[in-house]
Amino acid sequence: MAINTEVLSARYRAASVDLEGRRLLITNFLNTEQEKDLSEPPNCGGIGRIRHFRRLVSSSWPLNPLPIDPAILALGLPSTDMIRAQVFQNAACNWRCWYCYVPFDLLRANPDYSDWLSPATLIDRYLDQPDPPPIIDLTGGQPDLVPEWVPWMMAEIKNRGLEQQIYLWSDDNLSNDYFWKFLSNADIELIATYPKYGRVCCFKGFNAESFAFNTSAEPALFDQQFELLRRLLTLGIDLYAYATFTSPSNVDIAEDMRRFVDRLQMLDENLPLRTVPLQIQEFTPVKQRLNQDIYSVLHNQQIAIEAWRHELESRYSSEERACNIASVHLYGVS
Ligand code: SF4
């Protein structure tokens, strides 16, 4: 049965934010399954981890410049193929993507694996390390179950006069309208005008079928992902997109990919140039969550990425495709 996204979003929001105390529920990685997957031990007393973002993913996949290029452009750093980020993870998500690298036990506002923390404590712990990374990454879970998290962090960073030194990056799975429902105009204004912030929105498939297969949510919410991104584009935020292309079916992939890229371009002519496909790779925990043969799902992903490449090659010149992702102009929508 599909997830009831509305019900789950409301439940997890209620369980993971303390509005009066200005605190939110952050995953504590100590003694979790996720801790075993980390290349370095958790930091910040267990509630943070260092992530190395790398441009090169694999030989069969396009490069991933996020958030490397937006961060180095914003901070004036030299070009690089790897950058360190301080990751904080909120302790809830309203979807259950089979390929998620976060164990599902850490996505249900589980008090055993999380702490109530304020943005001030997060920044204190971030600063209290020998070599704080240049990026703070607010990830999930689904950070937008508590959209206040981003403006709270911005206000805290500004209070300390650090807004020119830290690049703030956050994820959004495009699953709800909480940004518009719960943020004040002042919060939205702060986000829209904050100097060094990038936001990446994740499309969980290239058609309704792959979306539902990947997330366990209702297929109709695939369309909603475009509408949610359209609204964010009106704000002029420095926006990017990820897309995952794993699919249970190999029927009409080329045609559906054409339509997917059409729809991105209907939001903004250049949005496909700011969209990065993410390669889903086989590893044991996620394989166990699939009822279907993982090899056909990954094979379909490979067909889809070739279709994606074909679409971009037919729509943009080689110069446009080679452009730094952070310099790709968005025309904006109103
Ligand atoms: S939306 Fe993100 S955090 Fe949630 S299940 Fe999917 S991949 Fe995991």
- 92-110 pLDDT, tens digit per residue, is 999 999 999 999 999 999 9
Nearest to 276 by CA among 97, 13, 61: 61
Residue 291 pLDDT greater than 80, yes or no: no
Test site for ligand 1: of 5, 173, 215, most ligand atoms within 8 A of the Cβ? 173
Task: Report the run of H or E that residue 42 belongs to, with start and end.
Answer: none
Residue ranges covered by each domain of the chain: 5-327
Which residues in 29-181 belong to E strands, given as ranges? Answer: 49-54, 82-89, 114-117, 135-139, 167-172
Tokens of residue 292, six digits: 């279907």
Atom of ligand 1 nearest to the CA of 214: 6
Atom of ligand 1 nearest to the CA of 171: 2
Does the beta carbon of 102 sit less than 6 angstroms from any atom of ligand 1?
yes
What DSSP designation does 102 have? Answer: S
Residue 283 pLDDT greater than 80, yes or no: no
**pLDDT the model gives residue 333:** 56
- 142-161 pLDDT, tens digit per residue, is 999 999 999 999 999 999 99
Nearest to 12 by CA among 184, 200, 147, 156: 147
- Give the residue whose CA is nearest to atom 7 of ligand 1: 100
Q: Residue 285: pLDDT band by 50, 70, 90 thresholds?
A: low
Tell me the CATH number for domain 5-327. Answer: 3.20.20.70
The whole-model pTM stands at: 0.96
**pLDDT the model gives residue 134:** 98
**pLDDT the model gives residue 37:** 87
Q: What is the mean pLDDT of residues 179-184?
A: 98
Q: Residue 281: pLDDT band by 50, 70, 90 thresholds?
A: confident
> How many CB atoms within 10 Å of residue 103?
16
Test site for ligand 1: of 12, 142, 203, most ligand atoms within 8 A of the Cβ? 142
The mean-pLDDT minimum among 33-42, 124-133, 318-327 falls in 33-42
- 202-261 pLDDT, tens digit per residue, is 999 999 999 999 999 999 999 999 999 999 999 999 999 999 999 999 999 999 999 999
Residue 81 pLDDT greater than 60, yes or no: yes
CB under 8 Å to 195, separation ≥6 — which residues?
74, 163, 164
**pLDDT the model gives residue 286:** 76
- Give the residue whose CA is nearest to atom 2 of ligand 1: 141
Helix (H, G, I), strand (E, B) or coil at 134: coil
Does the beta carbon of 93 sit less than 6 angstroms from any atom of ligand 1?
yes
Q: What is the mean pLDDT of residues 307-317?
A: 98
